[in-house]
Amino acid sequence: MSFNLKGEDWGKVGKGLLIAMGGAGLTYLGQFITGTDFGALTPLIVAGFSVLVNYMRKVGIGTTPKVEE
């Protein structure tokens, strides 16, 4: 068994690390946003956070390729 990684493999490990950290960060931020009272701006901030989460999801998993029939 070899524990040496090539450059491409380190890139994949790094990408996985960023995805995991991004998910943890968004989870923490989600807890903060939903538990904080922003007054009249609360609905706008929660909606903006929802858009941010959707954007991060699309960036993380990419878009679904179109299937031609």
Radius of gyration, alpha carbons of the chain: 18
Q: pLDDT, tens digit, for every residue of 6-36?
A: 888 888 888 888 878 888 888 888 888 888 8
Confidence of residue 40 (pLDDT cuts 50, 70, 90): very high
CA dist 7 and 58 (Å) reads 26
Percent of the chain with pLDDT over 70: 83
Terminal-residue alpha carbon distance, the chain: 44
Beta-strand (E) ranges in 1-69? none
Query: Can you give the pLDDT at residue 39?
Result: 92
At residue 47's C-alpha, the angle toward residues 41 and 50, to 5°, is 140
pTM for this predicted structure = 0.57
CB 56 within 8 A of CB 26: yes
Q: Under DSSP, is residue 65 helix (H, G, I), strand (E, B) or coil?
A: coil
Domain extents in the chain: 7-61
Query: Can you give the pLDDT at residue 69?
Result: 63
pLDDT at 61 over 70: no
